[in-house]
Chain A
Amino acid sequence: MPAPATLVSERLCGELQQAITTLSWSRDGEFLAIASAGGELLFLDFRAGFEELLQGDRDVSLDSIGFSADGQFLMAVGQAGELLLWELGGSGIRPMALEPLPLGAGWLDAALWQPDGLLLAVAAGRQVRLWDGAKRQWRPDTLSLPGSVQALSWSPDGLQLAASCHKEVAIWRPTTPLADEPWRAPTGSAGLALAFSPMGGLLASGQMDRSLLLWPAVGHVRPWQFSGFPAKVRALAWSDQSSRFAPPLAVASGDSVVLWRQQDKSSQGWKPEPLIWHQKRVTALAFAPGRPLLASASADGTVGLWDGRGRLRQPLEGEGQGFNALAWRPDGRHLAAGGDQGRWWLWPMNIPQGSAGRAPTSGKGFR
């Protein structure tokens, strides 16, 4: 059997002053935004080949950023407790900052755009608030939880919004004309990561008490519970590759990654496969869109690229710094990563044309 081709043979990188907290691509893959623990926000426009620091180091962290699905807005939230928004005019046009919106709820670290819409969910203390990009204002209705909101996830159709806090997960349908009561399920601890599956309507929650909860369908009060993880379950990623049953789910806990696959529909149907390689905490997980390729980032200064069978295809090195964040370009052919000393990387993947996956958009602008 011939050795598999090297996935990564070149890179692009840059430097911010403080640790990278998060990275985010626009839907069309033309823009990449990178935020730091000092509040820096770097905006890269690949088509026009220009970059701009939208904010410099203010020593006030930014922790969650994202582009709206239509590419109209870039949002950022963090330590200052404000929602920051920029209006984007397309490639080659400078983003224009809108007036910051204070929320008065302390440090904000979770905010998420609706997958295909213009609603932005922001975790603000014990509430989830919605900013409506179409009307450019806050919606009056909010989702209240009994504790501080720890994580958010939208269903792929954008109709359901899940939020977790200590001892509860709630699901809200904010766009239903008749305001339904949110569906609420008790949990044993705080949910630190939430993720709806891209298909099949499952919801996964990574818990502080070292367990994983999996609701086979929303409305099922009793989730499957998988315990015995080595540490808090802090990151989740669903594969978008279709399968007979649910798509594979990657879970990060301590220094291990566990790949879960559903073999049958029973509660015993989920089989874990530990991917043991990292030596320190795994900080981020992401499947390449349209490909059975998983990236795992770790504080040990490595990113692992794993194939669909859980084999390590290629290790990537962080040049002495640990990794905090990962983001795949929507074409699944470029991976961005952020380091704990401020360095960011962009790795183009050498994926043969015609290999599994959606039709990729061009990688124009990369060298």
Chain B
Amino acid sequence: MTFSSAVPASERLPVTVLTGYLGAGKTTLLNRILTHEHGLKVAVIVNEFGEVGIDNQLVIDADEEIFEMNNGCICCTVRGDLIRIIGNLMKRRDRFDHLIIETTGLADPAPVIQTFFVDEDLRDELRLDAVVTLVDLHHVEQHWEAEEVQEQLAFADVLVLNKTDLVDPSSRQAIEQRVRAINPMARLLTSSNADVPIDQILGVGAFELERALSLDPGFLVDEHAHEHDDAVSSVAFVEERPMDLERLSKWLSDLVAERGPDLFRMKGLIQLAGKDQRYVLQSVHMLIDGDFDRSWKTGERRRTEFVIIGRDLDTEALRSGFLACVA
């Protein structure tokens, strides 16, 4: 399965998935988005009833409902409530410009994300813009062991470290490092009262391949800074030698077939042997998408950057698998 749709991205409605543990500030952020003068008409689907304190006809309640499509494999689960409600809502698509899905604090983001790639209707009508995860700097350490917290961090394209006013700089930095160890590729924002620039949250284009990579170069150098023993972690590889696309594809398809449920997200910017164009790829569980991007620019450092975020990752096995793909 791939991310592709027959319909060009520009014709599909952008969707932002907003996650975060209980009390992280999702509702505050939503209220900000709904009242902010950003010129966008935003429709919101909420799973926690009555939380959004704004009377708005485009705030719609939905009761979270997981549809297992295929033997209960996590990679094939989608959200039936979203399919039904968005199907109804899309008859009015000329009335709004952006859709936000607010998940409950305990929701697994994967079925929400997969819905927009797996469901035949939504795939052609919407495009996932980004997964935005709020982190409660004040309380996250108490919840760190919760599986949901680590998964919500792992799936994020944008991480908002909220309530910065309630923690001292050193604990903020410690949390930031721990968050970075789980997810090195998300855009990191810091806020108090969820006061973040809306243009950093909406219109991110994180799932568009050409914009998919915003790797933090600092992290890539610093790939062994593991102080925490979290179940969810990441590995990042940088390789100066060109790669072989055939071997890489084979390795990745075997990898997701075997470890798909534990591989949350992967992103890669690949330098291929004998190609003047960059190759970009990304994945969510077993969904993989890859394509040629623009040509390398003159003077641009040609190299491969590859990040894997998952549960119980075997760094050495992944490294040798990756290195075997060098051309």
Identify the A interface with B (CB < 8 A): 18-19, 21, 37-38, 58-61, 63, 79, 106-107, 109, 125, 147-148, 150, 166, 189-190, 208-209, 231-232, 254, 324, 340
Contact = CB atoms under 8 A, between A and B. Distances in A.
B90 to A, nearest CB: 9
A40 to B, nearest CB: 12
Main secondary structure of the interface of A (DSSP, over half): loop
A62 to B, nearest CB: 10
Contacts of A209: 69
B85 A107 contact: yes
B139 to A, nearest CB: 30
A38 B65 CA distance: 26
B80 A106 contact: no
A30 B241 CA distance: 77
A217 to B, nearest CB: 29
B319 interface: no
A166 B60 contact: no
B121 interface: yes
B88 A148 contact: no
A63 B67 contact: no
B62 A190 contact: no
Q: What range describes how many residues of B lie at the interface?
A: 20 to 34
A186 B88 CA distance: 26
Nearest to B92: A37
B291 interface: no
Main secondary structure of the interface of B (DSSP, over half): helix
A109 B84 contact: yes
- For B84, B89, B121, the residue with the greatest tally of chain A CB atoms inside 10 Å of its CB is B84
A152 to B, nearest CB: 14
Contact of B84 (A21, A148, A189, A340): A148
B57 interface: yes
Contacts of A59: 57-58, 92, 95
Contacts of A125: 63
Nearest to A59: B57
B91 A148 contact: no
Contacts of B95: 18, 59
Contact of B91 (A106, A150, A190, A324): A324
Interface string B190-204: 000000000000000
Contacts, number: 60
B91 A61 contact: yes
B120 interface: yes
A63 B90 CA distance: 12
A223 B181 CA distance: 52
Contact of A189 (B69, B85, B88): B69
Nearest to B89: A61
A254 B121 CA distance: 9
A79 B65 contact: no
A232 B121 contact: yes
B289 interface: no
B63 A106 contact: yes
B51 to A, nearest CB: 14
Interface string B71-101: 0000000001100110011011001000000
A18 B62 CA distance: 23
Contacts of B67: 166, 189-190, 208
A129 B241 CA distance: 65
B280 to A, nearest CB: 29
Contacts of A324: 91
B11 to A, nearest CB: 13
Contacts of B120: 231-232, 254
A150 B61 CA distance: 17
A81 to B, nearest CB: 8
Given A189-B69, A232-B121, A61 B61 contact: no
A109 B57 contact: no
